[in-house]
Amino acid sequence: MRVLDKHTWNRQAHFEFFNTFVDPYFGVTFKVDVTKAYALSRAKDVSFFVKYLHATMQAINDVENLRYRINELNEVVVYDKIHASPTILRPNNTFGFTFVNYDEDFFKFQNNFLNEKDRVFNTNDLFPPINSIDCVHCSSLPWVNFTGHKEPFNGAKDSVPKIAFSKMESKGSKKEMQIAISVNHALVDGYHIGLFNEKLQFHLNRS
């Protein structure tokens, strides 16, 4: 982790402007092709959710601005690695927040996820033992094929991106999902969301 020098940053004016907003977040929803990702998850007998969550985290870590956060000193910090914080649904239809350590290796990441799933299933705690900002908040709505989405945020200094995954739908031989991402405009612009979109589709298509 390092502190970004805002005085030499080409987005200093953008940061200072949007950092004064009560709600500095903007959200975008876009469609991705998950045909190959779904087929690979079935062929390797692994969770489809973990497959697309891992691809999402690969894409997040590929885009530097999505690794920026605002700390308690109002500094912009750049993390070397961003982790996943998905909600996990319990059998009783409540959920728990998690902190899943990211690893480039899919099977190590899957093991980290399964450990968190086991913890959530065996506790009523809402929050995980680790609760830091070097993550992305993720939620899945597999019951709804939404085309727009609004996430809650925790005030103007909240800088953790929020991602939601829709229900998967079959369109002929293709399978598609909607991805909603909300980000703090003091740190991230539409250009960076475009990069994230490209990177996510690339990683979804990888074996």
- The per-residue pLDDT for range 34-83, each reduced to its tens digit, is 999 999 999 999 999 999 999 999 999 999 999 999 999 999 999 999 99
pLDDT at 156 (0 to 100): 63
Say if CB 97 and CB 32 are below 8 A apart.
no
Q: What is the CATH number of the domain that holds 131?
A: 3.30.559.10
91-139 per-position pLDDT tens digit: 999 999 999 999 999 999 999 999 999 999 999 999 999 889 999 999 9
User: What is the domain count for the chain?
Assistant: 1
Give the Cα separation of 38 and 141 in Å (integer).
17
Give the Cα separation of 186 and 94 in Å (integer).
33
pLDDT at 207 (0 to 100): 67
Query: Average pLDDT of the chain?
Result: 95
pLDDT of residue 26 exceeding 90, the answer is yes
Give the Cα separation of 141 and 165 in Å (integer).
6
Give residue 15's domain range. 2-204
